[in-house]
Amino acid sequence: MSIFVRALNLGGQGPSVAIKDSIDVAGVPTQAGSRALADAPPAAAHAEVVERLLAAGYRITGKVTMHELAFGTTGINAWAGTPLNPLFPDRVPGGSSSGSAAAVAGKEVDVAIGTDTGGSIRIPAACCGVFGLKPTFGRVSRKGALPAATTLDCVGPFAADMDSLIACMRAIDPSFGDLPAVETASIGLVDVPALAEIREAVAEAVAASGLPAASVKFEHFEAAYQAGLAVINAETWAACGPLVETGKVGPDVAQRLINASRTTQADVDAANQVRAAFSAEVDAALERFSVLALPTMADAPPSLDQAADTSRLVNMTSLVRPFNLSGHPAIAIPLPARSGFPVSLQLVAAKGRDELLCAVARHVASRLQ
């Protein structure tokens, strides 16, 4: 099935851009990949991020498919369609912004817009072998994006190269300034569990950058991963819970939502205590280093035949979700494939230092073989 759920031709003669179907485009229903929203009325107005793209001369060529209700990591969607992973066709495209990543990887568009609540930009970017940025929480407007209320979700760009990604950020974030020099930048290499081949690829990319690096260990990393899930569950149930009663939500997402409904206020309160502790820990590390480096994914993306039960694959986000909880900007950078599967480097910067993050990412990417 096509990556696009609706072909469009809006805007100027600039770069082509695809929009995730959880973001409003005026006159088009926002269905978020769900049969439960099949009869949604057309959006009355563009999301603010869409307005900014149009104002910058971008050409919107369509809305793209996604993991249903943005509540999954594989991108598999029996109703709206599962996009083919263009560079790794036997692998899942990743979720939830599956169509956005696949559209860029397949050269259907120059750039694409997705959203990232627990890795939903960085995971599909890693699976499809493209760049994907989760900006600092709150930096890019979420007006006109689902869910309306969130403490985690971020709108951000995908691109096949850093210059295109940076230009797109300038379009969607009016505050995005000049990139700083990186000659004095340093890298904290975060010690996390991951497949040996992936750890080696990340270490080689950091070494090839020529920037000084040293190891970093986080006490609250695993706790932040678990706490992030508690917050995601509570906020997604609040936003999407009523749709379960329609009987039209796909079985995998419906079951995840039912499980999410059991999240208590005490769970959320405990998660927010972890949020404060982990955020402070990351802030402290980023006083020592310009950026942090770690794999985007700890393992190879699952094959399509391994991914039938998407609820069992939430741990695909083990290395990305903690930075949704903390709110730090993070970017996925494609590395050369290993053993036939995609590998991705994640860089993280201090809150509000999205320009520095992009500058270091562009430098690191330029040194890759």
Q: Are 316 and 265 spatial neighbours (Cβ–Cβ below 8 Å)?
A: no
CA atoms of 98 and 92, how far apart (whole Å): 9
CA atoms of 32 and 255, how far apart (whole Å): 17
Q: Are 10 and 54 spatial neighbours (Cβ–Cβ below 8 Å)?
A: yes
Is 326 among the catalytic positions? no
Is 175 among the catalytic positions? no
What does DSSP assign to residue 243? H
How many other C-beta atoms are found inside a 10 Å radius of the C-beta of residue 186?
Answer: 14
Active-site residue among 16, 20, 134, 279? 20
Is 20 among the catalytic positions? yes
Can you read off the two tokens belonging to residue 113? 């817009």
Would you call 323 helix, strand, or coil by DSSP? helix
φ, ψ for residue 188, nearest 5 deg: -95, 115
Active-site residue among 16, 97, 98, 120? 120
CA atoms of 290 and 79, how far apart (whole Å): 43
Q: Are 278 and 220 spatial neighbours (Cβ–Cβ below 8 Å)?
A: yes
Active-site residue among 16, 96, 326, 344? 96
CA atoms of 67 and 196, how far apart (whole Å): 29
User: Looking at the annotation, which residues are catalytic?
Assistant: 20, 96, 120
